[in-house]
Amino acid sequence: MINKPEPGEYSPFAAGYVALAIAAHDDVITLLGDLMDSTAALLLSLPPEKADYAYAPGKWTIKESIRHLIDTERIFAYRALCIARGEQQNLPGFEQDDYMATIDVSNIPITDLIAEFKTVRLANLYFFKSLSTTQADSVGLSNGHPTSVRALAHMIAGHELHHLNILNERYIS
């Protein structure tokens, strides 16, 4: 089990994501596994014509949102891997809008994006489950902020919960 992170183990920007994850479940590994299944099921239940829907001009489509979830999880998991392995260098931040400006998901079926999301998550579940307590508690620097591996696991879950809230409020309802 990965313990809950303490304040000071993540940036102020990530505090909302960490809080969402902690409120959702006591065990982040279980939460990540549950979210993998429930998010995929929700996305698969959407009518196909919704895949390219954005709730307002300039907002991401559902498919773009899935790509964003995948990219962000990869980045957070990479940071977790580096810190768990003892990396001492400051890991770079990223600007989500710059990343999104370079993608085109128009020709990618939503089912492929969902499969990729599940594959990335499954790989990260194996990674997080393999960590010792010492590794999970490791702290490094990410975007200039002290960041623990356990905080990054919670950030992955909380980031997904944040986007599920938006999906439910602005795309589905």
Identify the CATH class of 12-172.
mainly alpha
Which of 80, 106, 103, 102 is closest to 91 using CA atoms? 80
The residue extents of the domains of the chain are: 12-172
Which pLDDT value is given to residue 17? 98
Rounded to the nearest 5 degrees, what angle is found at the Cα of 96, between the Cα atoms of 94 and 102?
105
Please give the single-letter amino acid code of residue 51.
A
Give Cα 29 to chain centroid, integer Å: 13
Which pLDDT value is given to residue 1? 84
Which pLDDT value is given to residue 78? 98
**φ/ψ (deg, to 5) at 26:** -75, -25
**pLDDT 10s digit of each residue in the chain, 173 long?**
899 999 999 999 999 999 999 999 999 999 999 999 999 999 999 999 999 999 999 999 999 999 999 999 999 999 999 999 999 999 999 999 999 999 999 999 999 999 999 999 999 999 999 999 999 999 999 999 999 999 999 999 999 999 999 999 999 97
Give Cα 106 to chain centroid, integer Å: 22
pTM as predicted: 0.97
Locate the DSSP E strands across 102-169: 139-142, 145-148
